[in-house]
Structure 1
Amino acid sequence: MTFASLGLLDPLLRALDSLGYAIPTPVQAQAIPAVLAGRDLMAAAQTGTGKTAGFALPLLQRLTLEGPTVASNGVRALVLVPTRELAEQVHESIREYAVNLPLSTYAVYGGVSINPQMMKLRKGVDVLVATPGRLLDLHRQNAVKFGQVQTLVLDEADRMLDLGFSEELRDIYAALPKKRQTLLFSATFSESIRSLAGQMLDNPLSIEVSPRNQAASSVKQWVIPVDKKRKAELFSHLLETQRWTQVLVFAKTRNGVDQLVSLLQQQGVNADGIHGDKPQATRQRALDRFKASEVQILVATDVAARGLDIDDLPLVVNFDLPIVAEDYVHRIGRTGRAGALGQAISLVCADEVDQLAAIEVLTRQTLKRVEQQDFEPEHRVPLTDASGQVLKKPKKPKKPKVVGGGGKKNLGKWLESDEPASPQVKAVRKVPLFNTGPKKKK
């Protein structure tokens, strides 16, 4: 099968040829004809399998062949995404596909001044990529009007609910024309997403080209048990001994990102970090330098779990496990893309056993554990499997008895031990439909 056999226009085929696209991926092969036919669509595919081209190519073709010229402040197609990084990436891809077409494209998101965005929208835009919060801000100020919208695309809709955008999605949905095409693309589908699709889509075609909530088979995954206080030391040890050249590292908190970056820089490692507290320009500069191999280690919070498209990224390290199990799939999906091989290593301490169990349930696999010599944890990580059960808690290794004094000193260490009690596995979190949820990020 070729892109030409899917019925795409010559200007699109020339753009794809210049980008090196040869054969459609499975999701593209199924989605493109359906979108060209005007069907509503919900498609699930592993991250890195070409979802953006799957909706963007037929969308651009339909806009070229159909409909009036875009009016002032008007929009003909809306693509909603959860984060600034994903907005930039999706817009860049759409811009590349549309290079030979008479269509205008633009991206809007929070964290930057709204005034230049309002100025740009005055002439109208054929395809607008937006985060939900900033889009509503612009709509309420009459900077963007929805009367001409022919197609709505929800990209990574499950993440939008996770970030608390359910209210914004409801408001946008209410303001859009009733007659339109709606496309819902995501790497994972929770039950709340399926309920959302039932409300927003009209008799949709459903495509699932890979098992739900599973990482690509091209990514080799394993866990290294380690005490929490020795994670940074272990990471530095692995960085040196394994001679890692380019690593994307995920930490749980913004403070954790800053601390690890500072430590690595003190050791002479070229490292940088991105998180929600950093200005968009700073985040983009760090990402661009990492892509250009000017930065060896990029440390990020889950703001970067989706939307990072890095060619030939060999390794992802989970310095901390994510709170939401689905984010694990998206994190490690930054490597092993487009058929390439990748590795994903998770540094796991005892109090992360709940998150580990939830990830194994979600992905339906028990992650292999590999202990690192000289870093065997004092607080052992309870054993888990894909059933979600904590099988047992290994006994804490006995320390050799100290002959003679030191009793008070050793007693003090025992009293200060932070070894957790054997935890119970929590259920994987589900986001209720149209609840406000956690604090939104624009």
Structure 2
Amino acid sequence: MEEDDCLKFQDMGLDDRLLKAISELNWCEPTPIQEKAIPLALEGKDVLARARTGSGKTGAFCIPIINKILSDKQTAKEQTVKAIILTPSKELCNQAYKNVIELTRCCSREIKCIDVAPQVPLSSQRPMLMEKPDIVVGTPSRVLSHIKGGNLDLQSSLEMVVIDEADLVFSFGYEDDIKDLIKHFPKIYQAFLMSATLTDEVKALKKMVLHNPVILKLEESQLPETNQLTQYVIKCEHSDKFALLCSLLKLRLIRGKTILFVNSVNKCYKVKLFLEQFGVPTCVLNSELPVNTRCHIVSQFNDGLYDYIIASDESACFNPTGKTSDKIKAKGNKKDKEYGVSRGIDFQNISNVINFEFPKTVKNYIHRVGRTARGDKKGTALSFVCVKEMALLEAVEKELSEQTDGGKVFQPYQFNMAEIEGFRYRAKDAMMSVTHQAIQEARLKEIKSEMLSSQKLKSYFEDNPRDLQVLRHDKALRTVKQQDHLKHVPDYIVPRSLQGYRGLRRQNNPSVHPYASTRSHAQKRYQRMKSDPLRSFEFTKRRKSFRKK
């Protein structure tokens, strides 16, 4: 199809109020998945769509749902629940809910939407459900709890069902919940399954939920093209990863908003405590924190309040079956099973993704790297790979090279490890303070701090919503000994190739005057005299008065 023949939003027969909201969101034209899926959905067909992360799948199902509800409102006699959107995690529920709110900004009085995913008592959400909102968003288990509690009736009014990130639903342990939910659905309804991959789990869901669906499988690679996404790899010893990370950040070789991926929550805090000592503020997206806090962290990160966020996708990496082992139960594990960072969460304007620890599977690599180079923006993915992770790297390279017709996937990052010997020494010194006890104290301290803030500030922020912006999630935890000298990079450890960069000197050494090169010789002499501890203030003053005479 020629570029001029591409279907526009205006050509789809959408409601004017919906078109106005789309225009205000600056969606100039539909993405490929939206262009194909929306017309089919408007015709009332079931749709199974496979498209890579960041391709606009959420808009592909939200737009036809809203348009159909607006159309039905013209003849409806009573308020009923028309659509239900199911996602495997609370963060994805919050994101889908926000997308619905944005798309209904011009018809907010006509369409009501509620997100039931937050872990609050079911009774507190009952009044909102009794008003029968048009769209209900939630995880399968949460929606099922409301149905069994008598708060939600879908049997008589439900017309549309969406399952987003369908390939994760079973891996998060929702298979039984989905089977129970289907019993409460009417016999006839329109369904949408959205997924980044077509796995056996998605095929099983297809048989359970869909009826003669149209299958959309876009002919595209799972990652953006090489001119948009650059993938680098640094092969190093495991012990050098911390020194390498510190040197890249302190020498400003990595710039822009960055996500650091590791494989466990413990390693998140280990990296955070390490970087704290070098004066690099970071925040951790911890599965133990409340969902509202996690969403607030992502929101502030998107707004640019901080540049570095550390995250893990351990729920997908280490517990792919969604089942809890006896060993984990014995330890009293309280992580949120409805959590997954590398999938679906709408991080915005991400310049870099750093795989501090290489992901365990090809699928997780694709979804991690998919956080950057979204839309028409460029991005960089940098992976630290030690000897034990070489097999994982080769597996990723093999699969991705097949998708790119044998093209080269990874480029070696040109970095001379011998030039960061000074950083290696400092990193080793800093790591001595990051003990297992310090990590556990940091995790406990952040949870306690969040609980205290929630209790004390809840009523205040209800009256003063703007002050909520003051909350920061990148504050230092200070559970390790602080060494102030580590925060600055002395000239003698800066690689020779970077020593001429004046901006780097000024950043790492605040004592260097920003306009030092433009001051006259007399001004420099006076500055030295004033800072000399052997000179008194009175002597300097007399010297100035003598010059005036």
TM-score range with shorter-chain normalisation?
0.7 to 0.9
Q: Which runs of 5+ in 2 are unaligned?
A: 1-6, 314-339, 403-407, 420-549
- The residue aligned with 2:139 is 131
Distance 1:35 1:124, change over 3 A: same
Identity within the alignment, %: 29
Within-5 A mapping of 1:173-184: 173-184=182-193
The reply to whether residue 211 of structure 1 matches residue 220 of structure 2 is: yes
Deviation at 1:69, TM superposition (A): 5.9
Cα distance in structure 1, aligned partners of 2:178 and 2:391:
31
Partner amino acid for 2:265? R
2:356 pairs, out of 319, 323, 339, with 319
Deviation at 1:255, TM superposition (A): 0.8
SS in 2 for 1:347: strand
- The residue aligned with 1:6 is 12
Partner amino acid for 1:136? L
The reply to whether residue 23 of structure 1 matches residue 23 of structure 2 is: no
1:246 pairs, out of 240, 257, 266, with 257
Partner amino acid for 2:380? Q
Cα distance in structure 2, aligned partners of 1:301 and 1:143:
35
Deviation at 1:14, TM superposition (A): 0.4
- The residue aligned with 1:261 is 272
The reply to whether residue 288 of structure 1 matches residue 299 of structure 2 is: yes
Offset from partner CA, 1:235-255 (integer Å, 9 cap, x none): 122122304231011111111
1:368 pairs, out of 386, 394, 410, with 410
- The residue aligned with 1:235 is 245
Cα distance in structure 1, aligned partners of 2:101 and 2:145:
24
- Over aligned residues, Cα RMSD in angstroms? 2.1
SS in 1 for 2:63: helix
Cα distance in structure 1, aligned partners of 2:11 and 2:397:
40
Tell me the TM-score normalized by structure 1.
Answer: 0.79
The reply to whether residue 277 of structure 1 matches residue 288 of structure 2 is: yes
SS in 1 for 2:375: helix
Moved more, 124-133 or 345-354: 345-354
Deviation at 1:263, TM superposition (A): 1.7
In terms of fraction of residues, the more strand-rich structure is: 1
Cα distance in structure 2, aligned partners of 1:115 and 1:43:
36
- The residue aligned with 1:430 is none
Offset from partner CA, 1:343-394 (integer Å, 9 cap, x none): 1111122222343344334434564252632179xxxxxxxxxxxxxxxxxx
SS in 2 for 1:207: strand
Cα distance in structure 2, aligned partners of 1:293 and 1:130:
28
Partner amino acid for 1:231? K
Within-5 A mapping of 1:14-413: 14-66=20-72, 68=76, 75-101=81-107, 102-147=110-155, 148-211=157-220, 214-217=222-225, 218-241=228-251, 242-302=253-313, 303-364=340-401, 367-370=409-412, 372-374=415-417
Distance 1:233 1:167, change over 3 A: farther
Distance 1:256 1:69, change over 3 A: farther
Asked if structure 1 preserves the Cα contact closer than 8 Å seen for 2:85 and 2:162, the reply is yes
Deviation at 1:10, TM superposition (A): 0.5
Q: Which runs of 5+ in 1 are unaligned?
A: 377-442
Deviation at 1:227, TM superposition (A): 2.0
Cα distance in structure 1, aligned partners of 2:294 and 2:416:
36
Distance 1:30 1:143, change over 3 A: same
In terms of fraction of residues, the more helix-rich structure is: 2
Tell me the TM-score normalized by structure 2.
Answer: 0.65
Computing the radius of gyration over CA atoms, which structure comes out larger, 1 or 2? 2
Deviation at 1:281, TM superposition (A): 2.7
Partner amino acid for 1:97? L
SS in 1 for 2:105: coil
Offset from partner CA, 1:281-303 (integer Å, 9 cap, x none): 32122212211211121011222
Asked if structure 2 preserves the Cα contact closer than 8 Å seen for 1:107 and 1:130, the reply is yes
Cα distance in structure 2, aligned partners of 1:77 and 1:70:
15
Cα distance in structure 2, aligned partners of 1:299 and 1:156:
23
Deviation at 1:65, TM superposition (A): 1.3
SS in 2 for 1:163: coil
How many residues get paired? 373
Cα distance in structure 2, aligned partners of 1:375 and 1:108:
54
Asked if structure 1 preserves the Cα contact closer than 8 Å seen for 2:257 and 2:349, the reply is no
Asked if structure 1 preserves the Cα contact closer than 8 Å seen for 2:256 and 2:350, the reply is no
Cα distance in structure 1, aligned partners of 2:208 and 2:13:
30
Moved more, 134-143 or 34-43: 134-143
Deviation at 1:228, TM superposition (A): 2.1
SS in 2 for 1:221: strand
Asked if structure 1 preserves the Cα contact closer than 8 Å seen for 2:256 and 2:352, the reply is no
Moved more, 237-246 or 265-274: 237-246
Deviation at 1:115, TM superposition (A): 3.6
Asked if structure 1 preserves the Cα contact closer than 8 Å seen for 2:84 and 2:161, the reply is yes
- The residue aligned with 1:415 is none
